[in-house]
């Protein structure tokens, strides 16, 4: 029996076209990778199908006469507090397809954002502020295990000389790194742009689980190479190419599950780098099949240190989950030099929507609990902490460091800087902005030189703001802020939340 799917007309966005302004230039037709705009030969003009619109706003941004306006579809379901439209629409889709609902980018659900509920202290009379324009400010950050004590001797030239042997460190000019985004989930132009930007900024970018293309090995001094459960692109040369190595155990957007890069995204370059056939799906298993205990993790950590000839610090990336503090303690005791914690608001190229929106905890709570646990156990200096999954601005960076992070990972913000509008359809491979796609025509929309410049501009701008905020607090070093929760005050949080965060309420 023929029938029309119930959800055909329950689409999210509506395209408004001003007939007086539209000149039928077909720019929107050429720019829309989802074919929401098309040339109607019978009518001899441009038409549109709103049901195909994903709300990327590219047509609206590039229309030469500003004839287009994309808005949420005005019609809605009957109001019901339990059955919000998203649940109804999802049931219609799954009843038609029988499939898992996929989603990209970070979770849009309305969970508390604790960054917005915390305010920073500022200096006044007895503790004067510092002018960052006229006085030196120290943003340099070192990631890696620190010795509990150091010994200094006098050199033959009469100058002090460090006697204590230190472990490898990653030196950052800014306490910001580019998050793990694999080659394949985003295209080569963006990977090259991140590598260039990290090199210019004196920080690092993470390859993600997709390996490192050979042409990018020259940026190895500013690269963190990742080892995930699928082991895509992992070999000796790869491990020795990076300045740091990261074991990905969990990801904030999809804790407890693996990864899946559709075969449509596996072109010749991705195939060569990931070491999988062109056009075949690249599936990462949920667990590492050689890690079922902390002892197993310890073996892998030291195997990677051995492979890098003990020149690269090893990081372990874990998702922010309920018992994250205990997990982080075990990771540090297993020999990790860095613990990277990824909160549930972290972005993703593809994840089951129900997992992305309902599994894990916010990074603020996870970060505070991990920092406090490591301090209570006396092992905080044995590893650095990187926080990620929901870093939106320089104020978030400052607050994360005050809660105990040494540095932060920035992923979604990096993509927004080069045009991403968070349409959340990364898994389709049709990204209109040329980011989460390997389609040659779409990928060309990202110029690596321009993209790198935008990334550099963003981090430098955040760096200036961080210096201003530090100076306003009477601090001249980012290190002085690390774990200094007395510089934070909460607004409108419960006693339990403030206890976990380790902060007082405003006015106290």
**477 bridge partner residues:** 138
Structural Rg of the chain based on CA atoms = 24
C-alpha–C-alpha distance, residues 231 and 216, integer Å: 19
Torsion sign, CA atoms 262, 268, 273, 275: positive
Distance CA 379, CA 332 (A): 8
Residue numbering of the annotated binding site: 22, 25, 28, 32, 53, 56, 59, 63
- What's the rounded Cα separation, in Å, for the pair 148 and 334? 17
Which residue has tokens 């530090």? 470
Binding-site residues for [4Fe-4S] cluster, in ranges, read: 22, 25, 28, 32, 53, 56, 59, 63
CA 37 to chain CA centroid, Å, is: 32
**Neighbour-count burial of 370, counting CB atoms closer than 10 A to its CB (0-12 exposed, 13-18 middle, 19+ buried):** buried
Task: Please give the C-alpha separations between residue 471 and each of 112, 137, 138, 175, 266, in angstroms, as whole numbers.
Answer: 29, 8, 11, 16, 48
How many angstroms separate the CA atoms of 206 and 128, rounded? 39
Of 13, 32, 9, give the one whose Cα is nearest residue 71. 13
Label residue 113 exposed, middle or buried (CB < 10 Å: 0-12, 13-18, 19+): middle
CA distances from 271 to 188, 275, 282, 438, 439 (A): 12, 5, 10, 12, 14
In 72-177, alpha helices (H): 85-97
| C-beta neighbour count of 86 within 10 angstroms | 14
Give the residue among 380, 376, 345, 340 at the shortest CA–CA distance from 360: 345
- For residue 365, the tally of other CB atoms under 10 A from its CB is 19
Residue 141 is classified by DSSP as E
Angle formed by the axes of helices 324-333 and 294-307, nearest 10°: 50
Contact by Cβ (8 Å): 340, 409: yes
Measured distance CA(15)–CA(37) in Å, rounded: 9
DSSP state of 427: G
């Amino acid at each position: 029996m023929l029938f029309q799917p119930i959800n055909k007309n329950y689409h999210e966005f509506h395209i408004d076209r001003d007939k007086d302004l539209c000149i039928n230039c077909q720019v929107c037709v050429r720019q829309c990778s989802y074919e929401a705009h098309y040339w109607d030969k019978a009518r001899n003009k441009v038409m549109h199908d709103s049901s195909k619109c994903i709300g990327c706003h590219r047509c609206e941004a590039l229309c030469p006469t500003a004839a287009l306006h994309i808005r949420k579809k005005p019609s809605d379901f009957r109001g019901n507090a339990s059955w919000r439209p998203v649940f109804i629409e999802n049931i219609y889709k799954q009843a038609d397809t029988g499939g898992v609902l996929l989603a990209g980018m970070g979770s849009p659900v309305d969970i508390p954002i604790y960054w917005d509920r915390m305010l920073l202290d500022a200096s006044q009379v007895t503790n004067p502020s510092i002018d960052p324009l006229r006085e030196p400010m120290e943003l340099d950050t070192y990631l890696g295990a620190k010795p509990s004590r150091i010994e200094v001797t006098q050199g033959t030239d009469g100058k002090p000389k460090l006697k204590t042997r230190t472990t490898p460190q990653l030196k950052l000019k800014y306490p910001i790194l580019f998050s793990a985004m694999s080659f394949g989930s985003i295209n080569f132009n963006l990977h090259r742009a991140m590598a260039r930007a990290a090199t210019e900024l004196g920080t690092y970018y993470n390859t993600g689980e997709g390996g490192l293309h050979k042409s990018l090995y020259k940026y190895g001094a500013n690269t963190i190479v990742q080892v995930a459960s699928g082991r895509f692109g992992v070999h000796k040369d790869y491990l020795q190419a990076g300045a740091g190595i990261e074991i990905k155990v969990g990801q904030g957007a999809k804790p407890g599950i693996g990864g899946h890069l559709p075969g449509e995204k596996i072109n010749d370059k991705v195939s060569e780098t990931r070491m999988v056939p062109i056009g075949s799906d690249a599936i990462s298993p949920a667990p590492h099949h050689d890690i079922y205990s902390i002892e197993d993790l310890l073996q892998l950590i030291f195997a990677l240190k051995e492979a890098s000839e003990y020149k690269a610090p090893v990081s372990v990336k874990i998702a922010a989950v309920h018992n994250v503090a205990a997990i982080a303690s075990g990771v540090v005791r297993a020999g990790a030099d860095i613990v990277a914690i990824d909160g549930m608001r972290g972005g993703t190229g593809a994840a089951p929507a129900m997992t992305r929106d309902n599994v894990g905890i916010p990074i603020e709570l996870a970060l505070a609990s991990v920092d406090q646990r490591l301090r209570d156990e006396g092992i905080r200096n044995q590893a650095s902490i990187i926080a990620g999954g929901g870093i939106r601005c320089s104020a978030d960076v400052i607050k994360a460091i005050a809660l105990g992070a040494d540095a932060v990972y920035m992923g979604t913000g990096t993509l927004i800087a080069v045009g991403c509008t968070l349409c959340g359809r990364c898994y389709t491979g049709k990204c209109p902005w040329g980011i989460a796609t390997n389609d040659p025509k779409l990928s060309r929309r990202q110029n690596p030189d321009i993209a790198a410049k935008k990334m550099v501009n963003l981090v430098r701008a955040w760096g200036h703001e961080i210096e201003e905020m530090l100076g306003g607090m009477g601090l001249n070093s980012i290190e002085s802020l690390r774990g200094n929760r007395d510089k934070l005050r909460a607004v409108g949080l419960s006693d339990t939340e403030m206890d976990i965060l380790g902060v007082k309420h405003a006015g106290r």
